[in-house]
Amino acid sequence: MTSAGRPFDWALAEVAVPRPSGHLPGVRMAGFGHRVPATVDIAMVAHPSVALLIDLSETAGLVYRTPDRHGRGSVAVGLHPGEFWAGALMGECLQIRLEPVAAAALFGASAELSGTAVAFEDVWGRDAGRDEDRLRAAASWDERFAIAAELLGRRLGTRRPVDPEVVHAWRRMRTGRGRVRVDRLAYEVGWSRTRLSARFRSQLGITPKHAARLVRFDHAAHLLAAGHAPAGVAAESGYVDQSHLHREVKAFTGLTPAAVAVAPWLAIDDIAWPTGSPRVAPARRPGG
């Protein structure tokens, strides 16, 4: 990541996360800020969630781009297996990650979000500007998290619920780190493979097979970022061999496993969604 041709100053960056809560299952939030206005290129690695990036800056703010579109302001980034998203950030931003089941409960069938970035107002509706202003005016990250939880809670459950069979399949896929076969999932819910695939795709916006690839890649990417050797990562993540891991990493990121291991996006990810760490923590340099 660079800022106007120079290294981004991680010492001046901060990441805030809310206190653990079970009120919004499948939802995770983090706040990003910088004590000194700065512009930074950010690359988003494929992740098994829909992300809402709420621009809280007063000026230029968030600028995003994908291979086929670009825009400015708050944005929803859908499940994007094989897609590469990049942007520029200035000021403060609230990031909300929604597991596919939560995204479906919030927006309905999320197929239109898969593999792309959509302006926030296009998925949030006419209240988008008012809700952004309310979040922007909050006095602290704690207040912003509380407001965001209220807004999400008000919307969750207003859509047709996801089939319990699809919810089970997704949860098994996540806990199994993408290594549970679709045939096995279909057997567990008492459906045919064809029916499970069709319902999963129509409700979550991605096929079970592709979702499993995405979950498995996410696990492997974090192992690589933690310093594990590619050969060991391939074995632990369920790839046939190291060459298979290399092909999958290339398909999802365009990079080699060695390059993914030191990519800045994973340093941010490690801090944005910490386990057993302080609620508010300064960001560190990639690899630090």
- Residue 95 sits in which domain range? 2-160+263-282
Model confidence at 118: pLDDT above 80 = yes
The confidence band for 4, taking pLDDT boundaries of 50, 70 and 90, is very low
The confidence band for 219, taking pLDDT boundaries of 50, 70 and 90, is very high
Q: Residue 139 region, left (φ>0) first, then alpha (ψ -120 to 50), else beta?
A: alpha
Model confidence at 288: pLDDT above 50 = no
Q: What is the mean pLDDT of residues 13-38?
A: 78
Two structure tokens written together for 274: 């910490």
The confidence band for 16, taking pLDDT boundaries of 50, 70 and 90, is confident
- Quick check: is 242 in a domain? no
Q: What's the number of domains the chain is made of? A: 1
Model confidence at 53: pLDDT above 80 = yes
CATH number of the domain that 43 lies in?
A: 2.60.120.10
Task: Round the average pLDDT of the chain to a whole number and report it.
Answer: 81
What contacts 226, CB < 8 A, 6 or more positions away?
A: none
- Quick check: is 95 in a domain? yes
38-52, 109-123, 167-181, 266-280: least confidently modelled range: 266-280
Q: Percent of the chain having pLDDT more than 90? A: 43
Q: What is d(CA 165, CA 247) in angstroms, rounded to the nearest whole number?
A: 31
More confident residue, 201 or 81: 201
- Quick check: is 150 in a domain? yes
Q: What is d(CA 142, CA 133) in angstroms, rounded to the nearest whole number?
A: 16
Report the pLDDT value the prediction gives residue 21, as an integer from 0 to 100.
Answer: 73
Q: What is d(CA 237, CA 226) in angstroms, rounded to the nearest whole number?
A: 14
Q: What is d(CA 43, CA 268) in angstroms, rounded to the nearest whole number?
A: 10
- Quick check: is 211 in a domain? no
Q: What is the mean pLDDT of residues 232-251?
A: 94
Report the pLDDT value the prediction gives residue 230, as an integer from 0 to 100.
Answer: 95
Report the pLDDT value the prediction gives residue 268, as an integer from 0 to 100.
Answer: 65
- Quick check: is 187 in a domain? no
- Quick check: is 197 in a domain? no
The confidence band for 260, taking pLDDT boundaries of 50, 70 and 90, is confident
More confident residue, 105 or 91: 105
- Quick check: is 73 in a domain? yes
Report the pLDDT value the prediction gives residue 85, as an integer from 0 to 100.
Answer: 59
Instruction: State the residue for tokens 């064809």.
Output: 194
67-71, 82-86, 151-155: least confidently modelled range: 82-86
Distances in Å between the Cα of 165 and the Cα atoms of 13, 188, 197, 228 are 42, 9, 11, 35
Report the pLDDT value the prediction gives residue 46, as an integer from 0 to 100.
Answer: 79
The confidence band for 73, taking pLDDT boundaries of 50, 70 and 90, is confident
Q: What is the mean pLDDT of residues 166-187?
A: 96
Q: What is d(CA 134, CA 122) in angstroms, rounded to the nearest whole number?
A: 18
Model confidence at 148: pLDDT above 70 = yes
- Quote the pTM value: 0.84
- Quick check: is 196 in a domain? no
Cβ(39)–Cβ(90) below 8 Å: yes
